[in-house]
Amino acid sequence: MSLVKLANVGAHLQNCAMAKLPLTKIPYTKLHLQIALGLYKEGFISSVKRGSITGPDLTPVEVTPDNISSRRLWLGMKYRENKPVLSKFQLISKPNRRVFCTSSDLRNFAAGQRFRFVKPLQPGEVIFVRTREKEVIDLHEAVKKQLDGELLCRIQ
Amino acid sequence: MTLKLLNKYPVLAGRRFLSNTRFMAQKAPDQNAKYENMRHMQYLLQYYQPKVVESILQAESAIEPKHFRERKFSKIGFAPHYIDDFTNLDPYYDHLAKKPASSFLNFEQPNESDAPEDQKKADDAQELNLTESQELAKQLSLATGFDQEYITRLSAKTLVLKTVRNQTSKGKISSFYALVCVGDRNGMLGIGEGKDLIEPGTAVLKAHWQAVKNLTRVPRYEDRTIFGNIEHKYGASVVHLRSTPPGSGLRCNHMIFELAQCAGLKDLSAKVYRSRNKMNVVKCTMEALMKQKSIDEVALERGKKVVDLRKVYYSVEKNDE
């Protein structure tokens, strides 16, 4: 959806990690939900919960046009040995300069090569790719399925 | 301690009690001697085989009953069980710690008391003259907990040695400043700073001391390079460290080169941007190397399993069957 909002989410999560906060809320949008689920699968966050401005919902609440403005996504942060698990969340494709990759480019990038100005993949780094079907998946998954995509963000 | 108790709990026969116990024991009539013997044998049979009990009783018969009755209990709990004043060295039982034998001679010095007097004096004289490094190592091992030999085998490098000045009311007071890095070339690295007013050597010594105290582990990938790329900023110095394939060597700033050598890193590529002040570069690199997260650590954090593909697919395991 909006990469501006995703950039804000990235900055917010980095700030929360530095402040060692246990829970944090981000705006409830389709892209944010896809990214949050991706982070949860990769093990960067401990929980993803839908909620309101005040806190996560204990019982499921239906999202309607009446309450949509107050809906948020609550993420549980992870820490180990005084260090955050999710320490860096940077955008690759930015609103002023989008980055699109073909399947062969993605394969080379996953192998460790530099892609134009995008720095090579680091050990333990996760990159989310948005495919043509507007599906947000991990880089290695995209390479397996031989899909083209937009390099959204890199997470460490 | 009455006889009744002794009969009821024969275990107490072996225990030490206050001095009045002896008095009680003396009072025991000889008429009950046989009864006592029977009880004692029964007590032993509880724990030992009949043959062993027989040998125990035979050993006990060697001691005169009078001596057993008049046995003295030590008032001091930690006193030894035999009588000795410890002023003389017994040639058989008392041995001094053996000095390390010279390898090529393959000759071990016997107990000190057996060696001739001239040689004894010579050995003592050698012991007192410890070299400066050995003295340093000895004191450091007490302070840090590292082995003395380990400290002497550490490789140290003086990275910075300069004069620094302090402006006071009496004028400019110059002193020597040293920055030393110390490492075992196998994953441990430490840096230390030292200052001295008079001698630069003393400043280096102080810095060496601090460096050994600040020894920490540096995570290494395959014991040769760092994990991934690191970009770190310390003050005005920006250091970019990159991991390289095996055989690349250390292609970096001379300060980073010395740190990598001491740490045991063999392949590294680095570039220093902005300020190249030696002290700040060293401190920046030190922080950057500590900032690393090994792959196993990352896996633990995220709850993932790590599989080294090279080892799984290309390893050859020999079956010795």
Bridging pattern class, strands B188-196 and A72-77 = unpaired
Rounded-to-10 torsion of CA B179, B270, B258, A125: 90
C-alpha count within 13 angstroms, C-beta hemisphere, residue A149? 27
pLDDT band, very low/low/confident/very high, at B19 (cuts 50, 70, 90): very low
* Mean pLDDT value across chain B: 84
Q: Under the phi-then-psi rule, with left for phi > 0, alpha for psi from -120 to 50, and beta for the rest, what region is B178?
A: beta
To the nearest whole Å, the CA of A86 is away from the closest chain B CA by: 9
* Chain B environment of A125 (Cβ under 8 Å): 228
What are the pLDDT digits (tens) for A25-61?
999 999 999 999 999 999 999 999 999 999 999 999 9
Alpha-helix residue ranges (DSSP H) falling in B70-199: 117-128, 132-144, 148-153
Q: Which residues, including other chains, have CB under 8 Å from residue B127's CB and lie 6 or more apart?
A: none
B293–chain A Cβ distance below 8 A for any pair? yes
Chain position carrying tokens 């991991």? B243
Average pLDDT score over residue span B257-272: 97
Residue of B nearest to A43 (CA): B302
pLDDT band, very low/low/confident/very high, at B310 (cuts 50, 70, 90): confident
d(CA A118, CA A93): 9
What are the pLDDT digits (tens) for A4-21?
999 999 999 999 999 999
To the nearest whole Å, the CA of A110 is away from the closest chain B CA by: 14
pLDDT band, very low/low/confident/very high, at B311 (cuts 50, 70, 90): confident
Give yes or no for a contact between B202 and B196, defined as CB atoms under 8 angstroms apart.
yes
Q: What is the DSSP letter of A70?
A: G
pLDDT greater at residue B122 or residue B277: B277
Give yes or no for a contact between B243 and B177, defined as CB atoms under 8 angstroms apart.
no
Closest CA to B177 of B210, B134, B153: B210
pLDDT band, very low/low/confident/very high, at B169 (cuts 50, 70, 90): very high
To the nearest whole Å, the CA of A58 is away from the closest chain B CA by: 25
Structural domains in chain B, sorted by start: 21-69 (no CATH), 131-217 (3.30.160.20), 218-321 (3.30.230.10)
Average pLDDT score over residue span B22-39: 68
A78–chain B Cβ distance below 8 A for any pair? yes
* Chain B environment of A110 (Cβ under 8 Å): none
What is the structure's pLDDT at B1? 46
* Chain A environment of B297 (Cβ under 8 Å): 81
* pLDDT over threshold 60, residue B101: no
Q: What is the ipTM of this complex?
A: 0.90
Phi then psi for residue A113, to 5 deg, are -80, 155
Bridging pattern class, strands A100-101 and A149-155 = antiparallel
* pLDDT over threshold 70, residue B88: yes
A43, A80, A119 member nearest B304 (Cβ):
A43
What is the spatial order of strands in the sheet that A45-51 belongs to? A23-27, A72-77, A45-51
d(CA A55, CA A72): 8
A85–chain B Cβ distance below 8 A for any pair? yes
What is the structure's pLDDT at A1? 62
